[in-house]
Amino acid sequence: MSTRDASAQRASAPGHDAYAPARETTEGTVFTVTGGDWDTLIDSEHDDRVVINMGPQHPSTHGVLRLVLELEGESVTQARSVIGYLHTGIEKNCEYRTWTQGVTFVTRADYLAPLFNEAAYCLGVERLLGIEAPRRAQVGRVLLMELNRIGSHLVCIATGGMELGALTGMTAGFREREEVLHLLEYLTGLRMNHAFVRPGGLAQDFPEDWKEKVTDFIKLMRKRLPDYDNLLTGQPIWKQRLQGVGYLPLDGCLALGATGPILRSAGLPWDLRKVEPYLGYEEYDFEVPTATEADCYARYVLRVAEMHESLKIVEQAVAKMEPGPVMVEDRKVAWPAQLSIGADGMGNTLEHVRKIMSQSMESLIHHFKLVTEGFRVPAGQVYSAVESPRGELGYHLVSDGGTRPVRVHLREPSFVNLQTMPAMCEGGMVADVIAAVASIDPVMGGVDR
């Protein structure tokens, strides 16, 4: 009997696996797994396309984003994003809280830009109420938002660098971001999710020596920001990984509703701080950086340029800050803004509680009702938008005249901008998907909200 005939006989034997032939050795039976009849497979027609999942726990998908990629070799033929893994129900939760308590929810949506969510939400509530925050509160909001913009862009550059292998960019970016968080913690009491911007103004005034702290931060960042040009901007590998990658021209941006650095990288200087000013932004002298390359590299360069412009705005805000209240005078709306923090770092001090109780019983009852029931907002609806680090962040608020919103809906830039992912990635290499998603800078807390 020939060897081939013997193999065929063994293959046809009961319990024998054609793809794991066995042979006897002095140590017993040994199986050799072949994985398939490759001769037959190569001769037959077959589809080279492979579908892979990137995420939702992949380090390059910015948290819990899932990308379903159809590949032909290393080329992406189809790309889809799957969202919802971080759904927190923030919008729905706002319907079950007072208008002021809603701030503690919206600040957790885009958790890299919490102060922008707070400001956009509060601007909408104030428009429904027909009030305007005091001058000091408005300048304070601008100051906080621009500091927050710098911190958000630093995270975008740092995480993008990490995903592309530029680990020094990651360590430098997070080092500078810590400086931002330290300053925000000093000004508001918290590093993130501040709930510091409230309807009618700010939760409380800044500490006494806030100007010195902010000025020191400006000096430090003006010294360190040029390091990114030395480290990344002119770096050959960084440019090769980003230039010409994730291309999305202006007509594509407009068709898909993209805003922020994605839109400005395609040449359109659309920035709500300029085109529809709010909080007195028309008084500030700053530029809106743009580019025409419409690729990942242009978006990176724009974010670095925007950090320089934000420093200019912060510096002007420090000069514009005038003495005065940080909360409206209307006691039917204003939570007390002259709070002293308790020993636990959270509640009111006993001195403040004694002050409220010693004024009058009516004062105590009013304070209790304001905090527990909240204030009534006239019936109506409003859309208020600000320019967040990722683009147009808008809030659609609906009131039926009660103490709670009927509807809170976000126009979240990360959610809208994520639509651009297939247009940027399809036809490119799978390695370029990482760069494209990093240049979009999606924050899944805002996408899933």
Residue 276 lies in a domain: yes
Residue 375 lies in a domain: yes
Q: Identify residue 217 by its one-letter amino acid code.
A: F
Q: How many CB atoms lie within 10 A of CB 86?
A: 16
Phi, psi of 112 (to 5 degrees): -90, -10
Spatial contact of 389 and 117, defined as CB atoms under 8 Å apart: no
pLDDT the model gives residue 214:
94
Spatial contact of 270 and 263, defined as CB atoms under 8 Å apart: yes
> Could you report the per-residue pLDDT of 55-85, keeping only the tens digit for each?
777 777 777 888 888 888 889 998 988 888 8
Phi, psi of 446 (to 5 degrees): -80, -35
Q: How many CA atoms lie within 13 A of 17 on its CB side?
A: 12
Residue 439 lies in a domain: yes
Spatial contact of 308 and 350, defined as CB atoms under 8 Å apart: no
CA 312 – CA 285 distance, rounded (Å): 8
H-helix segments, 232-375 = 236-242, 250-256, 261-264, 272-275, 296-320, 350-359, 361-372
pLDDT the model gives residue 73:
85
Residue 8 lies in a domain: no
The H-or-E segment that residue 395 falls in is strand 391-399
pLDDT the model gives residue 344:
54
Q: How many CA atoms lie within 13 A of 93 on its CB side?
A: 15
Residue 2 lies in a domain: no
CA 2 – CA 8 distance, rounded (Å): 10
Burial class (CB in 10 A: 0-12, 13-18, 19+), 104: middle
Residue 12 lies in a domain: no
Structure tokens of 415? 């959610």
pLDDT the model gives residue 120:
95
**Considering the entire predicted model, what is its pTM?**
0.84
How close are the terminal C-alpha atoms of the chain, in Å? 71
Number of domain units in the chain: 1
Query: Which residues in the chain land under pLDDT 50?
Result: 1-12, 14, 38, 41-42, 46
Spatial contact of 382 and 127, defined as CB atoms under 8 Å apart: yes
DSSP 26-91: TTEEEE----S-HHHHHHS----EEEEEE-SS-TTSTTT-EEEEEEETTEEEEEEEE--TT---HH
CATH (domain of 168): 1.10.645.10
pLDDT the model gives residue 10:
47
**Domain hosting residue 80, numbered range:** 54-331+353-448
- Please tell me whether residue 365 adopts helix, strand or coil conformation: helix
The H-or-E segment that residue 197 falls in is strand 197-198
Residue 323 lies in a domain: yes
> Could you report the per-residue pLDDT of 333-370, keeping only the tens digit for each?
877 655 555 555 555 566 666 666 666 677 777 777 77
Report the alpha-carbon angle 381-149-295, nearest 5: 100
Spatial contact of 291 and 306, defined as CB atoms under 8 Å apart: no
- Cβ contacts of residue 428 below 8 Å, gap of 6+? 75, 76, 245, 246, 436
pLDDT the model gives residue 367:
73
Residue 37 lies in a domain: no
